[in-house]
């Protein structure tokens, strides 16, 4: 059985211990995660212990219960808060209600009353969990509807009705595994109608309605070992959207479809014709491939039925020019800046695969390579890298640019260069992070006497977000910003205690503590002695 975690905050240790001792927590579904004797300490422990419920006295030193509750509401809105008060004051109750306190309890409280309150809190937590489970049921219902939603999406995709920026996310959402291919191609299957025979049994006519389902299943069984694809029903017929990966080819895909046509004829005794469209380098243009597959089916009157019809055979077109567009450059830049060496290699290989597929003059190969080299040069300049790190003075680079040179050599060079830039960017990022943390430390050393010194103030100085700064500070120093600031202040306090005759309250203010009592509390927590006893030791 799992228990809800609870934290107690009260400046009277006897009260805390009595509550912990007298309540049968486990029978109520709770586990005491920890306790604190003031609001400041409670906040620190909440971050560490992640309780579900906080029980706090309203009157505590350094930070009272209402202030603590307000801070909890800001950072941990899901935590339930119970407030104890020895003061039957309507104003406190009003403030507590505004802060969405679960229970406002007047002291002294007996075991029976607290047990009843904890029961209500547990019921509330149980109800919230049940609501979350209902959300899971909704998700399950969504998954049951997924096949229908997937077909609607795929029809919109081949109809050209999906914005390019939404395609990848939708494919992942609908669990369609065709992303990150070299190219894509669409095929449309037309099931040819059988001639109706007079007197044909009704059962045979009913079977005709099941034929598309059988065809679809047989196609899936034959394709799944060789290609990544999705198959769905469209207005044109049974549609296949296939990803062409290494080492597969579009020619191999068409050949396999031809074999499938024969297999369907043999097993199902049904004739099907498959139109195959032009390939597409981008999924946002897959609608053109679908339309050309539909156009291919229009040539059945010429070629006959029962096989594949490739649009390129019927309407020969130019393969187009090799071109490195902005999308290609953006993808390559993202891989270098944020990816891994494996990601970089995959993107480069994808870009260079176009050279093999393009039937163009050798001079256009050279132009394409120059475009890639130009990208390398611009990215290095952005990163303030010395171009001599990459481009040597011998004729090796000139040979690389020769369109007749082996493509593998240029591809290997480009992968190596991209990985070098990737390493340089990471090194520069790490160095910058360390420099920023050193600047933050200097800022803390200079401003620690300011009692209002905060992460937000430092981040305004450094032009960073507080969340990223906090993560980076902990990673670089091994401690939180608050722990580091406390250490700086207490080290300075020790120095002043040893070298001056200043009063404790004066030293407290000099090191950034407005309240002498809280300064003494923090000091004693670290050194085991109060400041005055430390000085006399």
Among the residue ranges 189-198, 305-314, 489-498, the one predicted with the least confidence is 189-198
Among the residue ranges 234-243, 274-283, 383-392, 484-493, the one predicted with the least confidence is 383-392
pLDDT in the model for residue 186: 96
Among the residue ranges 232-241, 409-418, 461-470, 485-494, the one predicted with the least confidence is 461-470
Helices 39-49 and 65-75: crossing angle in degrees, nearest 10, is: 30
Cβ contact 263:133 at 8 Å? no
How many beta carbons lie within 10 A of that of residue 98, not counting itself? 12
pLDDT in the model for residue 188: 95
pLDDT tens digits, residue range 305-351? 899 999 888 765 444 566 788 888 888 888 888 888 898 888 888 88
Mention every residue, 6+ apart, whose C-beta is less than 8 A from residue 121.
53, 80, 82, 102, 103
| Closest to 318 measured CA to CA, from 357, 346, 266 | 357
pLDDT in the model for residue 318: 42
pLDDT in the model for residue 537: 63
Residue 515 pLDDT greater than 90, yes or no: no
- The strand pairing partners of 228, in sequence order, are 243
Residue 434 pLDDT greater than 70, yes or no: yes
- Concatenate the DSSP letters of all residues of 287-315 into one string: HHHHHHHHHHHTTHHHH-SSSEEEHHHHS
Per the rule left: phi > 0, alpha: psi between -120 and 50, beta: everything else, 72 is alpha
Residue 471 pLDDT greater than 60, yes or no: yes
Helices 90-98 and 65-75: crossing angle in degrees, nearest 10, is: 10
**Which helix or strand (DSSP H or E) is residue 336 part of?**
helix 326-338
**Cα gap 199→53, rounded to integer Å:** 77
pLDDT tens digits, residue range 346-383? 888 888 877 766 655 456 677 788 888 888 888 888 77
Per the rule left: phi > 0, alpha: psi between -120 and 50, beta: everything else, 87 is beta
- Tell me phi and psi for residue 307, to 5 degrees: -155, -165
**Cα gap 187→290, rounded to integer Å:** 7
pLDDT tens digits, residue range 48-87? 889 999 999 888 888 888 889 888 988 888 899 988 887 6
- The strand pairing partners of 444, in sequence order, are none
pLDDT in the model for residue 357: 66
Residue 104 vs residue 272, higher pLDDT: 272
Residue 385 pLDDT greater than 60, yes or no: yes
* Average pLDDT rounded to a whole number, residues 492-499: 89
**Which helix or strand (DSSP H or E) is residue 411 part of?**
helix 407-447
* Average pLDDT rounded to a whole number, residues 421-430: 80
* Average pLDDT rounded to a whole number, residues 447-466: 86
How many beta carbons lie within 10 A of that of residue 390, not counting itself? 17
What's the per-residue H, E or C state across 452-471? CCCHHHHHHHHCCCHHHHHH
What is the Rg, in whole angstroms, of the alpha carbon atoms belonging to the chain? 36
Q: Mean pLDDT in the chain?
A: 83
Distances (CA, A) of 115 to 169, 218, 262: 49, 64, 76
Whether omega for the bond prior to residue 247 falls within 30 degrees of 0, making it cis, is: yes
Cβ contact 409:400 at 8 Å? yes
pLDDT tens digits, residue range 239-286? 999 999 988 888 889 999 999 999 999 998 899 999 999 999 999 999
**Cα gap 277→268, rounded to integer Å:** 25
Residue 516 pLDDT greater than 80, yes or no: yes
How many beta carbons lie within 10 A of that of residue 88, not counting itself? 9
**Cα gap 204→199, rounded to integer Å:** 10
Helices 466-477 and 455-462: crossing angle in degrees, nearest 10, is: 100
In this prediction the pTM is: 0.38
**What DSSP state is assigned to residue 194?**
P
**Cα gap 328→324, rounded to integer Å:** 6
């Amino acid at each position: 059985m799992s228990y809800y975690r609870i934290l107690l905050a009260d400046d009277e240790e006897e009260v805390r211990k009595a509550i912990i001792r007298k309540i049968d927590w486990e029978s109520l579904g709770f586990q005491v995660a920890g306790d604190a004797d003031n609001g400041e300490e409670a906040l620190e422990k909440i971050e560490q212990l992640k309780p579900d419920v906080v029980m706090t006295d309203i009157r505590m030193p350094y930070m009272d219960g209402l202030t603590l509750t307000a801070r909890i509401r800001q950072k941990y809105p899901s935590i339930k808060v119970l407030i104890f008060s020895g003061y039957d004051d309507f104003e406190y109750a009003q403030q507590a209600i505004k802060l969405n306190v679960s229970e406002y309890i007047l002291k002294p409280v007996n075991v029976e009353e607290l047990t009843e309150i904890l029961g209500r809190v547990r019921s509330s937590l149980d109800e919230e969990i049940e609501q979350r489970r209902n959300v899971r049921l909704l998700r399950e219902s969504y998954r049951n509807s997924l096949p229908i939603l997937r077909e609607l999406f795929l029809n919109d995709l081949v109809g050209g009705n999906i914005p390019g920026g939404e395609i990848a996310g939708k494919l992942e959402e609908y669990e369609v595994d065709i992303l990150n291919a070299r190219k894509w191609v669409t095929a449309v299957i037309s099931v040819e109608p059988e001639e109706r025979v007079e007197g044909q049994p009704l059962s045979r006519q009913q079977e005709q309605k099941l034929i598309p389902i059988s065809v679809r299943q047989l196609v899936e069984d034959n394709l799944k070992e060789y290609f990544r694809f999705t198959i769905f029903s469209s207005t044109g017929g049974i549609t296949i959207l296939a990803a062409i990966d290494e080492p597969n080819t579009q020619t191999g895909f068409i050949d396999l479809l031809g074999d499938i046509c024969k297999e369907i004829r043999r097993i199902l005794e049904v004739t099907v014709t498959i139109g195959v469209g032009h390939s597409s380098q981008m999924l946002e243009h897959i609608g053109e491939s679908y339309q050309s597959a539909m156009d291919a089916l229009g040539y059945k009157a010429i070629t006959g039925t029962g096989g594949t019809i490739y649009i390129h055979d019927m309407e020969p077109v130019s393969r187009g020019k090799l071109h490195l567009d902005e999308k290609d450059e953006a993808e390559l830049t993202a891989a270098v800046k944020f990816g891994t060496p494996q990601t970089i290699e995959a993107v480069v290989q994808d870009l260079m695969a176009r050279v093999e597929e393009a039937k163009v003059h050798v001079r256009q190969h050279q132009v394409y390579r120059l475009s890639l080299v130009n990208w390398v040069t611009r990215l290095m300049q952005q990163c303030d890298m010395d171009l001599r790190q990459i481009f040597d003075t011998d004729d090796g680079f000139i040979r690389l640019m020769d369109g007749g040179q082996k493509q593998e050599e240029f591809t290997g060079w480009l992968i190596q260069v991209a990985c070098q830039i990737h390493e340089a960017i990471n090194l520069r990022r790490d160095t910058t992070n360390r420099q920023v943390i050193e600047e933050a430390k200097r800022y803390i050393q200079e401003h620690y006497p300011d009692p209002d010194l905060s992460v937000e103030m430092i981040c305004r100085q450094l032009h960073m977000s507080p969340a990223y700064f906090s993560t980076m500070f902990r990673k670089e120093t091994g401690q939180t910003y608050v722990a580091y600031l406390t250490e700086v202040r207490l080290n300075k306090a020790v120095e002043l205690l040893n070298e001056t005759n200043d009063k404790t309250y004066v030293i407290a203010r000099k090191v950034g503590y407005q309240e002498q009592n809280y300064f003494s509390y923090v000091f004693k927590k670290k050194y085991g002695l109060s400041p005055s006893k430390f000085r006399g030791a």
